[in-house]
Amino acid sequence: MTPVKICGITRFEDAMLAARLGAACVGFVFWPQSPRFVKPAVAADILAALPPHVAGVGVFVNQPIEEINAIADRVGLGAVQLHGDEPAVACARCTRRVIKAVRLSAGSTPDAVDAVWSGATVLLDALDPVRMGGTGRQVDWTLAARIARRRRTILSGGLRAETVGEAVRLVAPYGLDVSSGVESQPGIKAPERMAAFFDAVIAATDPVSTAASADGAQA
């Protein structure tokens, strides 16, 4: 299955469900202006209770590198996601694996990722200069596919159970990032939407297992 990050986690029960469904990562937003903001102490408690195979990713927007590294240490993050206008030199100063968001607009080209630090994994999201992320807006999958052939890419932006299968087939991303597409409201995940999302990802990336499960159900 394509690795999935459930982002915007604010509650323990949502994180545990993500782990049970097969999430590779859970994301915590440490940007205070986000409706999904969570305090580092809360995130640390949630992450400490999760199975060790589920990594924590911290989302930051144009925040001081010293603050980012300190929160990463306190929470025990496996990676940091820089979702603002952070330059390559800032990415290189992070003490954790770096995921760098590139916010695509209608006029974007594959060259949009050229300035991203070579040590970072690219995350593609839709441009919103105010909310920065978690908007539910879909990126151009044709453009995303071209970028995914050039760089290791995590696809975000408007993904939900009804669309993620097609996105996986068209873009073939390294990973998937979903937040609003599995929510009942910002920061509150909907269990049925999360389950449907993982079912759709499995169906798109592991059709043999899906077919075997269907045959077993019919036997």
pLDDT digits (tens, 9 = 90+) for 57-107: 999 999 999 999 999 999 999 999 999 999 999 999 999 999 999 999 888
Q: Which residue has the tokens 């408007």?
A: 158
Decide: pTM greater than 0.85: yes
pLDDT at residue 135 in the model: 57
Instruction: State both tokens at 165.
Output: 């299968």
Contacts of 124 (CB under 8 A, 6+ apart): 101, 102, 104, 139, 144, 147, 153, 154, 155, 156, 157
pLDDT at residue 53 in the model: 94
pLDDT at residue 136 in the model: 65
> Which positions of the chain have pLDDT values less than 70?
129-136, 207-219
Note the helical H segments in 76-160.
88-92, 141-148
In the chain, domain spans: 4-218
pLDDT at residue 211 in the model: 47
Q: Please give the positions annotated as active site.
A: 7, 125
Distance, in Å, from the CA atom of 126 to the CA atom of 90, rounded to the nearest integer, reads 22
In which region does residue 210 sit, left (phi positive, over 0), alpha (psi from -120 to 50) or beta (all else)? alpha
CA Rg value for the chain: 17
CATH architecture assigned to 4-218: Alpha-Beta Barrel (3.20)
* pLDDT > 70 fraction of the chain, expressed in percent and rounded: 90
- pLDDT mean across residues, the chain: 91
